[in-house]
């Protein structure tokens, strides 16, 4: 097992824990600002998850294309978090 594989498995476990915990919290705290923040965090984590695991397609796509896709998903996640946080702070 390579170091990259171990890191990928570790981050996968962390992502799954975060998604599981916040999904349970989303069910408990439906509606209101807390529910909105939980949904915001879940969507951000899912976008970051996709960005980290784009490398699965390294056999199909080139390294440059994978880096572009990874950057786009990370930028989308951070932009979504910033925009959603600003909207929640306004209300």
Return d(Cα 44, Cα 85) in angstroms, integer.
11
Of 5, 8, 6, residue with least CA distance to 52 = 8
The pTM for the full model equals 0.83
pLDDT digits (tens, 9 = 90+) for 51-87: 988 888 888 888 899 999 999 999 999 999 999 989 8
Give the pair of three-digit tokens for residue 57.
């397609």
């Amino acid at each position: 097992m390579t170091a990259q594989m171990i890191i990928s498995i570790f981050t996968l476990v962390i992502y799954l824990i975060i998604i599981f915990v916040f999904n349970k919290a989303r069910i408990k705290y439906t509606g209101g600002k807390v529910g909105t923040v939980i949904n915001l965090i879940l969507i951000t984590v899912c976008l970051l998850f996709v960005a980290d695991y784009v490398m699965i397609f390294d056999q199909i796509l080139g390294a440059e294309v994978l880096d572009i896709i990874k950057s786009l998903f990370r930028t989308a996640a951070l932009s979504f978090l910033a925009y959603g946080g600003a909207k929640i702070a306004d209300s």
